[in-house]
Amino acid sequence: MAQKALYELMSSKMFGVCVRYSNNHEDAQDILQDGFVKVFEKITQYEGKGSFEGWVRRIFVNTALEKFRGQVRIIATEDNLLKLNNIDQHDPVNDQLSEKELLAFIQELSPKYRVVFNLYAIEGYSHKEISDMLDITEGTSKSNLSRARTILQQKVAKYYHQERSVI
C-alpha cells in the first residue's frame, strides 16, 4: 500500500518535528496522525514545486501550529514586560547536550515560546512570517523569541554548571 510505504519512509522524520512542537508524547502523536491524514487527503494538491519532503514538513508544522495557535495568542498579550537583565552569560558546550536533553529543554517551554522558537530558530521563518502564521504582531513574536532564548540559555547554562561541578 503506497500510503503505508510513504508513512514508513517519513514517519520518524515527521515525528521529530511533532515532538519539537509538543510538550508531551500524546500531543506529538496527535499531530503526527492529523498531519498524515492531511498529507494523504491533500496529496493531489502537491504541484511538484519544491521538494516533496518540504511540502510534507510544512503540513506538519501547520498542523502543530493549529494545535497551539490559541495558546500562543491568549498568553501573548501579557508578554511585553520581559526582564532580560541578570542573565547568566555562560557559553554552553553543545557537545555535552544530547538530542534528548535539547528536546527536553524545548518541551519545557510554554507553547507560546516553544512555537516561536521552533519557527524562527529551527525552521528559519522570519518574524513577519511568524506573525502572519500565528496572527500575532511582529513585536509579540520577537518578544516571545527573546524570552524563549533567555529561558533556554539559562537551562543550558544550568546544565553546563551541573556537569562541570560533577567533574
Partner 1 sequence: MNDRFEHIDNIFREGLGELNSTPTEDAWENIAGKLKENKRKRRLILLSRAAAIFAFVITLVTGYFISANINIDKQNALSDAAVEQKATDSNPDQPVKSTPEKNNQNINNNSTDVNPGTAASINKVDKRTPVKEPDAILINNNSTPAAIKRDNQSQPTGITEKMAVTRRIGNLNKAENKEVLLPTGQKTVNPFVSADLSDNNNIPVSDRNAVDPYLDEYAINALNEEKNKLRFQLSGVATPLYASVESRPAGERQSLAFLNAEPGDPEINKDALSAYTAGLKFSVSKGRRLSVQTGILYAKVDQRHQFEAFERITVSDESTAQNNTDRIISPSPAGAAPPRLGFELDQTGETSEQNDTEENTTRLNQYVQTITDDVEYLEVPLSMRYTVINRKLEVNVLGGMATNFLISGRRKTSSSAGIENSSDITVALDKVKYSTHVGIGFEYPIYEQLVFVLEPTLKYYMNSLESINQTKADPFAFGLYTGVNFSF
Residues binding partner 1 (CB under 8 A) = 3-4, 7-8, 11-13, 15-20, 23-24, 27-29, 32-34, 36-37, 40-41, 62, 65-67, 69-71, 73-75, 77-79, 81, 83-84, 89, 91-92, 94, 97-99, 102-103, 105-106, 108-111, 117, 120-122, 135, 146, 149, 151-154, 156
> How many whole angstroms separate alpha carbon 136 and alpha carbon 151?
21
Closest separation in Å from C-beta 8 to partner 1: 8
- Ramachandran area for residue 86 (φ above 0: left; ψ -120 to 50: alpha; else beta): left
Closest separation in Å from C-beta 58 to partner 1: 14
> How many whole angstroms separate alpha carbon 100 and alpha carbon 108?
12
Joined together, the cell numbers standing for residue 35 give 498531519
Closest separation in Å from C-beta 104 to partner 1: 10
